[in-house]
Structure 1
Amino acid sequence: MVTADLLQELMGKAQGRCSYAEARLVHDRSEHVSVLNGDVEDVSAGESEGIGVRARIGGGWGFAATRDISAAGAEVALARALAIAEAQPSAPATPLASAGPPASGHWEGPCEQDPFAISLDERLAHLFAAEEPMRGDERIVRTSASCTAIRTSKAFASTEGAVCTQVLTECGGGIAAVAVGDGELQVRSYPSAHGGHVAAAGWEHVLELDLAGHAGRIAEEAIALLTAPVCPEEITTLVIDAQQVALQVHESIGHALELDRILLGEASYAGTSFVTPADLGSLRYGSELLNVTADATAPGGLGSFGWDDEGVAGKRTPLIAGGVLQATLSNRESAAAVGLQESGGCARAHGFARQPIVRMTNVNLEPGDAGSLADLIADTDHGLYLENNRSWSIDDRRLQFQFACEVGREIRGGELGRLLRNSS
């Protein structure tokens, strides 16, 4: 486990040399195992460790990172960060939004079974048991199963007195089958597309997914989709499964409300945003039934943590209430730029060698009072149920989008009917 002692000493040496400084010591570990068509496809592992230091002089930032985690290495990184901050063009020394009480203590995400303690043989046996039942029909040309484990250990300290450590474990997996016939190709996956489902959890999450228990159904549906009717083009009622809803919320709400995009400070990775600061409290994002929150405290969420990468405690923030935009996702600098007193707690860095920027936590569509999925379908006289994302496209302002799903089903008289292919 990483400790914050070195960083705390480093921040003491930064005092008086800048208006603010912070340091992160990060140890990342990952393992991925996959099987394909009855053979082992991939067994890979990665590991990195280093220190990232950020300093502010006036309104200018400097950042430096090093793999040398000794006291001497950390001091070299601090000196580089200070030099870069000093060299920045003159900018107003605007205050940062508050980080709240200085971060203190230790936090760990949920993990009942350490995924890194599960032997490779056991993981492969689990995957082959899920992949083998999908084989057998000549129309199935590709069968795959995979599992992933990630652990991030972090220590953080700042010149404002923050000192904390945290450990985040992520684990999950999935299966997929590809069927080909009569010039058609169809894919079915479980529990979600593009690699399966990963949660803040241990190996217990992979077991709970019961991949083998769904393998036969996934293969059968892939074959059935080859001859299923094409999804009709019509205006109708849509019921969308949780995995597809999550992606749409992520793309059209989560990214669009990242305040650095809104302020045009970030555009290189996923574009800017159609939202403006003036839209807060007035922009109608959806019907009065739409309520969305950003919640870094949600159990099992990949966006959950004890503190963000600026030492701001994880929090729950209403973003949309009654269909109207109420808040954005922010860090300390962007929050201050729009006059907010406190950071939104959304500063996140990918590894030790990158600066924290605004990235969403768990952005959740809150449940209403319409009941379960079965209740929604029973309440729909005529419509479509769409399941599992197949592809997506979205413009660089997060305004227009197109999503295709693996499978559609007719809803008639409150019941699910025939399969439909190529739904979007």
Structure 2
Amino acid sequence: MQLRPILSTLRHHKLTAVLLTLQVALTCAIVCNVAFMVANRVREVSLPTGLAENELSMVRVVGITKGENPQARHAADLAALRVIPGLRAVVAVDSLPLSRDEDSYGTCNSLQSFNQAMAAHSMAGVGGCVNTSVYSGSPGELAALGLKLVAGRDFRPGEYLPAKPGWMMADVPSVIVTRALAARLYPGRNALGQSLYTGGRPPMRIVGVVDTLLRPRLRTPGINQFSMMVPSVPGDSTVTYLLRSAPADRGRVLKAAAATLNRIDPDRLIPPKGTRTYAQLRRAYFQRDTTMIGLLVAAAAGLLFVTALGIAGLANFWVQQRTRTIGIRRAIGATRGDILRYFQAENFLIVTGGIALGMVLAVLLNLLLMTHYELPRLPLRYLPIGALALWALGQLAVLSPALRASLVSPVVATRSV
């Protein structure tokens, strides 16, 4: 296919060609950035917590009786809950991944680093120090959560200590950390047996490493796995009872647990939102993200649809305007395939021009988003992906008008005025 006839035709329709090129460029810039934003959101929504999520449910209890012993109350509640049929494990915990109830401490791998951080009143910029989320719970928490231990051991019964009333964490001797935290604090070394310094407490010895344990509140991707567990029985009157059962039994076990807790002590609060499965907790945490994903996908799909309508509408208009020219070409020997390829090549040139401009606009738009909304830099791989999508869209949109043009009869066309 010679390009000279196509370029000559486009020169006679400069305005429409330029408008369509600008439309494709704007679509390319927006779609590339939207695809990047959606991919980031989907990646975050799909983050593994490390828990046996489909087997977990929880009941949050708020004590209102003054002067009661929280640990004694927790022990009585756990004993009553363990007799529920189908319940595999139950523990009292202070927090869970994605629960937003975060208890975090500055954590250092040496006393020297800890003293430097205290003197600077900040963990930032001090080597060997990070901010870490801390989980505490009653004995059996590791197994109840379904965490995968990749090194070391679980806590021993004698290591568990009760936290003071009003506090969630006691001064415990041992700790279990995530693989990511161990790699950050002890790069290239074995973390087992190492000492951690946190919050002015005595040093804690690392006795185990788990594969994954997400933080209660997500931050940046590089630190979302900086978590650790301590053998500290929660000492607050407000506590969450974590229930593990078969996925099919979660609803029944959850109702039975709430009824059991109300029966043994009706003088406390069990908020309706605190009685739910872990899957519901996860959905609630990512509700805004999933809504945003839907809105972004809908906006991108709408923009692509409008662009496809523009391409198809312009192609239909040009077919009507060139009916006599098409007939003359057919009469002098052009085949239907030649006519079809002509319109496809014309569309390819216009879309290519729009894509080239759109790639530049996509980078500029990403820089604007980085400045005002802290969006990460757009990876260059999204540019060819957007280009391929628009090329395919352009060819599909022009296919019907091009097929209609290829069916123009030479005899009818040459007789038209």
Q: TM-score normalized by structure 2?
A: 0.23
Select the structure with the greater relative contact order (CA < 8 A; seq sep ≥ 6): 2
Which protein is richer in helix relative to its size? 2
More strand by share: 1
